[in-house]
Amino acid sequence: MAGDSALARTLAPLVGTGPGAGMGLMFVIFGILGAIATIVAYASRPIREIESILPDCVAEPDPPAPDASG
């Protein structure tokens, strides 16, 4: 973010205005979006209770090895 725009002045204390400020702003925005997605997912009952809804994975036993004597 470079320049003297209102957006740059508003966000300068948070991410600065020099090289890399745009990438810093992207990290802040996507961090906030990730937190919002987590909160929305946690508000969903099926996602919150996934451990009790889905059965545990039970691995099938390995097939017996062929007999080498015969």
Structure token digits, residue 60 = 């099938």
Assessment of whether the complete model's pTM goes beyond 0.75: no
Q: Is residue 39 part of a domain?
A: yes
In a domain, 44, yes or no: yes
How many domains are contained in the chain?
1
- Say if CB 25 and CB 11 are below 8 A apart: yes
Task: Tell me how far apart the alpha carbons of residues 46 and 62 are, in angstroms, rounded to a whole number.
Answer: 33
Query: Which pLDDT score, from 0 to 100, does residue 30 have?
Result: 97
What is the model's pLDDT at position 29? 94
- In Å, how far are 32, 61, 62 from 68, measured between CA atoms? 61, 20, 17
Where in the sequence is the domain holding 39, given as residue range(s)?
19-49
Res. 3: pLDDT tops 80? no
First to last CA, the chain: 76
Averaged pLDDT for residues 31-51: 92
Structural domain includes residue 28? yes
In one-letter notation, the amino acid at residue 58 is V
Residue 66 lies in a domain: no
Cα separation, 15 vs 63, in Å, equals 59
In a domain, 31, yes or no: yes
Residue 43 placed within a domain: yes
Residue 69 falls inside a structural domain: no
- pLDDT band, residue 1 (cuts 50/70/90): low
Whether 61 is in a domain gets the answer no
**pLDDT of 57 strictly over 80:** no
